[in-house]
Amino acid sequence: MKAEMQPAEGATPEPLRWALHGGPGTGKSHTLKLIREELFEQIAGWTRGSQYQIVTLQAVMANDLDGDTIHHALGLNWQSASDDKISGSKFLDLSAKAVQWRWLIIDEISMVSAELLARLDLRCRELVRDLAQSKYARGSAHARPFGGLNVILSGDLWQLPPPRGTFLGEVPWEMLTSGKSRKVAHTVHGQELVWGSVGEKSVVQGLTELVQCERTRDVWLQHVQKEIRDGRLAADSHAFLHGQDTSVPGSWSGEALECGNATCRKLMQGKYTPAHIRLHECPRCKEERASKKRVVDTAGHMVEVEKRDRAKAIFATNAVKYHVNKLRAQDWAQRQGQEVQYAIAKDTISSRALQEKPDLGREKLTWLQRHDQDCGGLYGVLPLCVGMPVTATDHLDRRRGILKGCPGKVVGWSWRKEQEIAQDQKTHIWNQPPTCIFVQFTTKTQWRVQGLDKDNVFPVTLQRQPWHIDKGRSRPMLRVVRRQFPLAPGFATTAHAAQGQTYAEGAITDMQLGEGGDPMTAYIAVTRVRDREGLYIYRPFDASPYQKGCSVGRALLLQTWRGDCIDWATLRTRYREEAACSECRERKPKSGYTAGQWKREAAARVCRECVRNHAANNTPWQCSVCKAWQDEAAFAKQYARPPCTFYRVCHTCEVQKPCCKCGVAKPASAFGASAWKARHADRRCCKDCAVKVTGHWRCGVCSEQKAREHFSAWTRQSTRQNGKQRCNPCVQATEIRAAAKKAKGRLYKLRVQDKRQQVIRCSRAESPDSVRPLLRRSVCRQAIRRATAWQTKAPVRSTVRTGEIEHRRACGNRFRVKDGHVDEPAQPTPRKTQPRAQTTQAAQAARPQQETQATARAAKETNAAPAKAELESKNCLSFDISKSPEHGRSPAKVVPWSMKIPFERAGS
């Protein structure tokens, strides 16, 4: 260190920028503590904040080292990446503190993002006085990194990356691709601070590595931790954790057989099955094997309930942590024989939010179920009982060391007088919270609040925190203020909060990773314990996520810090984007191709060099159709323009193209300019097909272009050309189709009618004789009656029982019947429509002939059917359906008998 700080002759001393690296529990924080206490404070007599500063990302880590958070110590804005908003007075305050700064120690560097490190560097350059000797190198106008402060970067690159931002161990790909960086300035700056160099030397000048794990003395557990760290968890280790059979005896630690038994050593030779090994291993191996089973099963193995109750559950996400905390709080209270008290948060909606969404109040109950990180870090329903472990969710008192994440236990709470009545009613849900909750916190120092009789007991009062329901929006509007105690049950935590901690009581972890889960979170949990007895794995897990190896960046950064020579050329060939040229067959990086060529398919991609060769041979352009490289003269002039780089067609391929309508291949002159250039063949329509002729319309049905006279049938309705116009043949065809359709409809009706009549006839013929008259009567509602016209004495058949009968055939007159008998008046009733004089004479002339015919017909009818006469004598009227007045009427008026009287009923 001294050597590094020793100036070369005549030169400004170079400040120290050093890395302290080591696995979990190797004592990095312990070393920093020693440097602080023994070197800085005891030997140099310095104080924190004046001559040196120790910073970390999280308050709990800072508290362990008696340091500060990066944001608080350097006045950085933690909500946004902009640091311009710092007030003048605060900046002056910081500057005054930084006047004497010489050392800056950053712990848990893996959790500091590139962006945050860049902001820290810029703020240091601002705060350190220009007069400070080390700020500028001799002859340089640029401030040194970190304003010339001596810096120690301590941490483990194989631990968790920052919750947000770019991980420092990520390879800056610009180094591999030698392309321009598209990252934001802060990212590039931050990465340069750990990867880059100042002049010939790298920014981080060297590295001290700690290798001996001090936290975990269990050799086998150390071995498992290492396997998970390297991403190569062995099948045997996985089986040991699950209590399954292994290919080695139980006391195998990964390096040696601890029992030293000769039989067990023999079992190691690989000839035996796992079941055999388990059966024949020595008692010590059996014992070791049992203790290595860390996956908790439901059958009650590892029933160390008491111990497990005190162990901290470590999860990857806040949501799981929140729910586990609530469940374990209930469980814990039950075991202690206590009733859980629930403090209900009060959410107040801002007036602006109500303006935007008036019915927001209805959702309040659902907000209580959201996890705390969604609602300003305060629980909706906070379970509490006396003696329960809790943690502070905010910095409650910096002076006393009660920072966010500080552990403690509930000692009691105090009510206002009027609230004590509610207490008597034994309610366990506090809609009206107590005035304060007394919590005994575990801090580095001992203190006592005035008026309280116990040490380290702090009255935690209600806190208000704003949160937004619509926090995903670019400008959240729906603001709610939550009022709750800033406490959380202390049974579970996240892996990020657990980093750097040692849990002597043990840790519970879930190693079954979901999709996208990070094995590092499980690694952090596994490395927090002192021995295997302290590790509880929540459920069986899949080994594959822990066998994928680890990223190349971490190892490369460590090599950079060590000062090892990195073979960037080999890395470039391995990681750079490359593709083979279709002509020279050589694999080349993206920069070896033009943008257009890179996008092409592998078979058509040509590298810059081959393109250059073609240009040198005076064939600079490639035809997109025939793929031949040709000179410029082989292409049309417009292809010289830059947009045509991706599509050029030579004259030979361009001589003729087919029209999409007529399908005939035609030269360019037959097409319009845009149609000729169209790449899609279905858009290339020749002029003949596309042309509009004056006085012509295109028929909307047959699509033919015709003179307007051919549309005369259509223009009777409309003269507008709207694309629906139809030519005369098409109109005619339409009309014919409509008429045919109508006729078909009518024919169908007649067919139906005929069919019905046929059915009736058949049924009548088939029905028994006794039933037939009944059927006839039912079918023929209007019975046919016989009468004799009194004028001509001719027989007349009619359905009229009472009324007038028109007897046209006999004389053209009418006569009246009453109850079926002819009512003979003194004078004949004149017809309504009187025949004209001429026709009356003609009718009178024809009358004798008609009378003769009628008489003859009557005689024929009387003689022809004796059965009919018999029926008539029985006063039954005959029925001939073809002569019936119903015949020929619409079927709707004729009611089929079968529908009216069922056959059986009629028969009976």
Measured from the CB atom, the residue of 249 and 534 that comes closer to ligand ATP is 534
Measured from the CB atom, the residue of 504 and 615 that comes closer to ligand ATP is 504
Measured from the CB atom, the residue of 214 and 331 that comes closer to ligand ATP is 214
Considering only residues 117 through 146, tell me which ones interact with ligand ATP, judged by CB under 6 A. none
Considering only residues 411 through 450, tell me which ones interact with ligand ATP, judged by CB under 6 A. none
CB of residue 315 to ligand ATP, shortest distance in Å:
18
Q: Which amino acid is at 130?
A: D
Which one of the spans 23-31, 65-73, 311-319, 477-485 is the region binding ligand ATP (CB under 6 A)? 23-31
Residues 86, 606: Cα–Cα separation, whole Å: 55
Measured from the CB atom, the residue of 56 and 443 that comes closer to ligand ATP is 56
Tell me if residue 813 falls in helix, strand or coil.
strand
Q: Which amino acid is at 823?
A: D
Task: Give CB contacts under 8 A, 24+ apart, made by 674-679.
Answer: 679/647
Burial 48-76 (b: 16+ CB within 10 A, else e): beeebbbbbbbbbbbbbbebbbbbebbbb
Task: Tell me the DSSP string of 886-907.
Answer: TTTS-TTTS--HHHHS-HHHHH
Residue nearest to ligand ATP (CB): 27
CB of residue 548 to ligand ATP, shortest distance in Å:
22
**Which pair of tokens denotes residue 422?**
């509610």
Taking the mean position of all CA atoms in its chain, how far away is CA 390?
A: 36
Q: Is 156 in the site for ligand ATP (CB under 6 A)?
A: yes
Nearest Cα to Cα of residue 659 among 672, 649, 647: 672
Interface size with ligand ATP, residues (CB under 6 A): 13
Measured from the CB atom, the residue of 502 and 509 that comes closer to ligand ATP is 502
Measured from the CB atom, the residue of 349 and 557 that comes closer to ligand ATP is 557
Measured from the CB atom, the residue of 408 and 500 that comes closer to ligand ATP is 500
CB of residue 162 to ligand ATP, shortest distance in Å:
15
Expressed in percent and rounded to 5, the helix, strand and coil fractions of the chain are: 40, 15, 45
Which one of the spans 26-34, 80-88, 438-446, 732-740 is the region binding ligand ATP (CB under 6 A)? 26-34
Which one of the spans 27-35, 352-360, 408-416, 712-720 is the region binding ligand ATP (CB under 6 A)? 27-35
Residues 745, 201: Cα–Cα separation, whole Å: 100
CB of residue 500 to ligand ATP, shortest distance in Å:
4
CB of residue 498 to ligand ATP, shortest distance in Å:
9
**C-alpha separations of 508 from 81, 408, 626 in Å:** 35, 19, 68
Measured from the CB atom, the residue of 504 and 747 that comes closer to ligand ATP is 504
Q: Is 21 in the site for ligand ATP (CB under 6 A)?
A: no
CB of residue 30 to ligand ATP, shortest distance in Å:
4
Indicate the angle between helix axes 235-242 and 283-292, nearest 10 degrees. 90
- Of 18, 19, 21, 26, the one binding ligand ATP by CB under 6 A: 26
Considering only residues 199 through 218, tell me which ones interact with ligand ATP, judged by CB under 6 A. 214-215
**Which pair of tokens denotes residue 833?**
């429509």
Residues 622, 614: Cα–Cα separation, whole Å: 9
Measured from the CB atom, the residue of 22 and 250 that comes closer to ligand ATP is 22
- Of 30, 223, 232, 756, the one binding ligand ATP by CB under 6 A: 30
Measured from the CB atom, the residue of 21 and 648 that comes closer to ligand ATP is 21
CB 427 within 8 A of CB 340: no
Which one of the spans 19-27, 291-299, 626-634, 661-669 is the region binding ligand ATP (CB under 6 A)? 19-27
CB of residue 587 to ligand ATP, shortest distance in Å:
42
- Of 20, 29, 278, 393, the one binding ligand ATP by CB under 6 A: 29
CB of residue 22 to ligand ATP, shortest distance in Å:
5
Q: Is 25 in the site for ligand ATP (CB under 6 A)?
A: yes
Measured from the CB atom, the residue of 109 and 537 that comes closer to ligand ATP is 109
Strand partners, 523: none
Q: Which helix (H) or strand (E) element contains residue 291?
A: helix 283-292
Considering only residues 724 through 753, tell me which ones interact with ligand ATP, judged by CB under 6 A. none
Q: Which amino acid is at 91?
A: F
**Which pair of tokens denotes residue 108?**
């848990």
CB 133 within 8 A of CB 12: yes
Tell me if residue 821 falls in helix, strand or coil.
strand
CB of residue 485 to ligand ATP, shortest distance in Å:
30
Measured from the CB atom, the residue of 117 and 213 that comes closer to ligand ATP is 213
Measured from the CB atom, the residue of 528 and 807 that comes closer to ligand ATP is 528
Residue with tokens 């295109």: 698
Which one of the spans 21-29, 87-95, 299-307, 687-695 is the region binding ligand ATP (CB under 6 A)? 21-29
CB of residue 34 to ligand ATP, shortest distance in Å:
8
- Of 15, 22, 401, 489, the one binding ligand ATP by CB under 6 A: 22
CB of residue 27 to ligand ATP, shortest distance in Å:
3
Considering only residues 214 through 253, tell me which ones interact with ligand ATP, judged by CB under 6 A. 214-215
- Of 24, 147, 377, 489, the one binding ligand ATP by CB under 6 A: 24
147 DSSP 8-state letter: G
CB of residue 391 to ligand ATP, shortest distance in Å:
19
37 DSSP 8-state letter: I
Our CA angle for 163, 167, 169, nearest 5°, is 145
Measured from the CB atom, the residue of 151 and 343 that comes closer to ligand ATP is 151
Residues 784, 774: Cα–Cα separation, whole Å: 15
Residue with tokens 């004028």: 791
CB of residue 406 to ligand ATP, shortest distance in Å:
17
Q: What mask, x for binding ligand ATP by CB under 6 A, covers residues 575 to 604?
A: ------------------------------
CB 496 within 8 A of CB 333: no
Which one of the spans 22-30, 41-49, 356-364, 713-721 is the region binding ligand ATP (CB under 6 A)? 22-30
Measured from the CB atom, the residue of 156 and 192 that comes closer to ligand ATP is 156
Pairing of strands 803-807, 813-818: antiparallel
Residues 428, 425: Cα–Cα separation, whole Å: 9
Measured from the CB atom, the residue of 504 and 740 that comes closer to ligand ATP is 504
Residues whose CB is less than 8 angstroms from the CB of residue 516 and which lie 6 or more positions away in sequence, other chains included: none
Measured from the CB atom, the residue of 24 and 383 that comes closer to ligand ATP is 24
Measured from the CB atom, the residue of 22 and 486 that comes closer to ligand ATP is 22
CB of residue 444 to ligand ATP, shortest distance in Å:
14
Considering only residues 501 through 560, tell me which ones interact with ligand ATP, judged by CB under 6 A. 502
CB of residue 202 to ligand ATP, shortest distance in Å:
24
- Of 17, 21, 28, 119, the one binding ligand ATP by CB under 6 A: 28
User: How many CB atoms are closer than 10 A to CB 120?
Assistant: 24
380 DSSP 8-state letter: S
Residues 839, 573: Cα–Cα separation, whole Å: 120
Residues 5, 19: Cα–Cα separation, whole Å: 15
144 DSSP 8-state letter: P
Indicate the angle between helix axes 114-127 and 185-195, nearest 10 degrees. 80
Instruction: Provide the edge-to-edge strand list for the sheet that holds 813-818.
Output: 803-807, 813-818, 821-823
What sections of 656-782 are H helices per DSSP? 673-677, 687-690, 712-715, 728-766, 772-779
Tell me if residue 787 falls in helix, strand or coil.
strand
Residues lying near ligand ATP in the complex (CB under 6 A) are found at 22, 24-30, 156, 214-215, 500, 502
